[in-house]
Amino acid sequence: MLRHLLALLFGACLLCPPAALAAGPDCSRPLTLALHEHGLLYSSATDSGVDRDIADALIRRSGCKVTVTLIQRARIWQLIESGALDFSLSGITNETRDKFAGFAWYFSNKYYLLVRRDAGVKDIDDFARKPALRLGVIRGFRYSATANTLVDQLNEAQRVSYSSGLEPLYQLLQTRHIEGMIIEPFDYPAVESSKIREISNILEFGDDPVPHGLIMSKKSLSLEEQEKWRQLIRAMRDDGTVLRIFEKYFPAELARTLSNFKY
């Protein structure tokens, strides 16, 4: 009876289409994923954050061996383009990046201009009109449409100071070496610290929320494999995993706003 049952199960497996037998990602080789230091997305000091939790959940669900490292954002994009790095997280796309990277969206957020109060800035255009004001930007970062326009305009006028991360920009803001920097919800804890809050205001760019997601190298991962990883992200969104991760770091309402979106 047992032999008969095993034979039936074996026969059923033979009838399964190849896609059904290999529904999950290909784990035949070690994969690589890079995190970058950025507020509540990831802190190397505590080895924690939204992206750390997303990475851990993806690794568990895929069953793959994935080496996770910390790399500066600008370098991550270079490695993704060359195929030397398989994945990163919380990436946004544009025409250039679309040529070498695929994406699987898991949250969406707006961008804001954090500006010194003594700069006398009332709105975004006001910042651009005042030639003495400088903007601080993380190297390798892009933002929403209006924010990108401001960065490009000021860069052309040599009014942008570039940094490898947020902390140096906060220091530049406090010491008046820059008058503004672009922030997002992951930066709120630092912005709410007394030193930053006392000297700054937050201005809205007015753009729609920008989707962020898993970054996949088109050079190292086939279209079929990229879709398998997208399915994992979709499943994590559908079963509430992504929302629960965001609720660890944000108030419930903001966590829902960030993680519940249509794209």
Q: Domains of the chain: which residue ranges?
A: 31-109+209-259, 112-204
pLDDT exceeds cutoff 50 at 2: no
Grade residue 3 by pLDDT with cuts at 50, 70 and 90. low
Strand order in the sheet with 210-217: 66-70, 31-35, 87-91, 210-217, 101-109
pLDDT at 194: 78
pLDDT exceeds cutoff 50 at 10: no
pLDDT, mean of residues 8-37? 70
Q: Taking the CA atoms of the chain, what radius of gyration do you get in angstroms? A: 22
Are the CB atoms for 62 and 27 separated by under 8 Å?
yes
Instruction: List all residues 6 or more positions away from 125 whose beta carbon is below 8 Å from its beta carbon.
Output: none
DSSP letter, residue 208:
P
Are the CB atoms for 183 and 112 separated by under 8 Å?
yes
pLDDT exceeds cutoff 70 at 262: yes
pLDDT exceeds cutoff 80 at 246: yes
pLDDT exceeds cutoff 80 at 12: no
The domain defined by 112-204 carries CATH number 1.10.3720.10: no
pLDDT at 8: 45
pLDDT at 72: 95
pLDDT, mean of residues 141-169? 96
Task: Tell me the pLDDT of the chain averaged across its residues.
Answer: 92
pLDDT exceeds cutoff 70 at 51: yes
pLDDT at 23: 80
CA-CA distance, 124 to 127, in Å (whole number)? 5
Q: Where are the beta strands (DSSP E) in the chain?
A: 31-35, 66-70, 87-91, 101-109, 112-116, 135-138, 160-163, 180-183, 200-204, 210-217
CA-CA distance, 75 to 28, in Å (whole number)? 26
Q: Where are the beta strands (DSSP E) in 48-191?
A: 66-70, 87-91, 101-109, 112-116, 135-138, 160-163, 180-183
pLDDT, mean of residues 42-60? 97
Of the candidates 249, 260, 237, 214, the one whose C-alpha atom is nearest the C-alpha of residue 48 is 249
Token pair for 131: 């030639």
Of the candidates 212, 217, 213, the one whose C-alpha atom is nearest the C-alpha of residue 80 is 217
Whether pTM > 0.95 for this model: the answer is no
pLDDT at 162: 97
The proportion of the chain whose per-residue pLDDT surpasses 70, expressed as a percent, equals 91
DSSP letter, residue 89:
E
pLDDT exceeds cutoff 70 at 7: no
- Parallel/antiparallel/unpaired status of strands 112-116 and 31-35: unpaired
pLDDT at 134: 98
pLDDT, mean of residues 98-122? 97
CATH number of 31-109+209-259: 3.40.190.10
Least confidently predicted of 11-15, 72-76, 191-195: 11-15
